[in-house]
A and B are shown apart, each in its own frame.
Chain A
Amino acid sequence: MEMKRPEIANDMGVVRIADEVVSTVAGLAAIEVEGVASMSGGWGTDLVEKLGKKNFGKGIRVEINEQETTIDIFLSIMYGYPIPQVAESVQKEVRTAVEMMTGLHVAAVNVHIVSVTMAKPAVEEAADEIEAE
């Protein structure tokens, strides 16, 4: 059974928000949290991204029904950061960003840690920054 998408109605018409928009907002909010290394979208999405198409909504699954929104986030954490605290920050940031930008009510943000990666050493990070400049 297909779920009915929420609509924001006003004098000029109706606004419908696509799942992809919510995914992008959630993805951008999650990646900003300290301790999050990357989003995990599976090998297919990663391959497409390597070919040049940036996908900010990767690793995000959104379920929207009339009343509320549930977001599942699949991510990789940097080694050395406490996972419960990082996950809680992700939940708070994502919920705030999605509710503020879309007006949807977020019922739950489920965080799934799928990998742990080593943080880049400071020297390597500085070299990357110089290279980028």
Chain B
Amino acid sequence: MPILWRLLLSIYNILMILVAGVFLAASLSIIDLQPYLETALNDQNRLLTAVIALSIIFLALVFLIQSCKTISIEDDGIVVQEALLGQVSMTVAAIELLIMKSVRQIDGIKDIRPRIRKDKTGLTVILDMMINPELNVPEVTVATQKIVKEQLENMGGLQVNAVKVRVDDFKAGK
């Protein structure tokens, strides 16, 4: 999802939390909503209230469509190549397995959870990792990014735009 949509989604979520909070407070008789509702629905503010309501409905519909699009991409798999002989595709699960097997070559990675995002230009790989605290984090993450990109491009024939690594936790021992 582009950064603008993420920002809008965050604003929408905060707005929904505020609305829910106001109604919760009203139900507990902490605040009285009646004067506010009367102000919002009087002849002077009626149009503005309608515009705000329509904007919220529009945003909700856009987010619904966006979430459905992501599901359909994951279900169809990712096309590796398309030629006269036919199409070659990989499921997201197979790509995740390929990543996990590639990362096994690096010492010190205790756990890894890959996620794949696909757009028109290629793949974005997001890796949540748990690593050995004795190791140098930048070195391990750079090695991971390098090996994942190499393996997906050379072995999988996939176009990788970015490999984003997030070290979630540390775990000592073998």
Contact residues of A with B, CB < 8 Å?
A: 70-71, 77, 79-84, 87-88, 91-92, 95, 108-116, 118
Given contacts A92-B85, A113-B91, 18 further A-B contacts (CB under 8 A): A82-B155, A83-B80, A87-B80, A88-B83, A91-B83, A91-B86, A91-B88, A108-B85, A110-B86, A111-B86, A111-B87, A111-B88, A112-B88, A112-B89, A112-B90, A113-B94, A115-B93, A118-B101
CA distance A129 to B93 in the complex (A): 31
Residue of B nearest to A74 (CB): B91
Interface residue count for B (Cβ, 8 Å)? 20
In the assembly, what is the distance between CA of A25 and CA of B81, in Å? 24
Please determine whether A87 and B81 come into contact, CB atoms closer than 8 angstroms.
yes
Instruction: Report the bound CA distance from A114 to B154 in whole Å.
Output: 18
Could you tell me the distance between the alpha carbons of A92 and B157 in the complex, rounded to whole angstroms? 18
| Pairwise interchain contact B101-A114, C-beta atoms closer than 8 A | no
B residues near A, CB below 8 A? 77, 80-81, 83, 85-91, 93-94, 97-98, 101, 154-157
Closest CB in chain B relative to A115 CB, distance in Å:
5
Give Cα distance in the complex from A82 to B91, angstroms: 16
B86 CB contact (under 8 Å) in A77, A81, A108, A114: A108
Contacting pair A109 B94 (CB below 8 A): no
Shortest CB distance A34–B (Å): 15
Checking B77, B85, B101 against A79 with a beta-carbon cut-off of 8 angstroms, the contacting residue is B101
In the complex, A95 Cα to B85 Cα: how many Å?
8
User: Closest residue of chain B to A77, judged by CB?
Assistant: B94
**Nearest Cβ distance between residue A82 and chain B, in whole angstroms?**
6
With the chains together, A87 CA to B82 CA distance in Å?
11
Within the complex, which residue of B89, B90, B93 is in contact with A110, where a contact is CB–CB below 8 Å? B89
Q: Is B89's CB under 8 angstroms from A113's CB? A: yes
In the complex, the chain B residue whose C-beta lies closest to that of A71 is B86
Partner of B90, one of A81, A83, A118: A83
Contacts A83-B88, A87-B88, A91-B85; A114 near B155 (Cβ below 8 A) = no
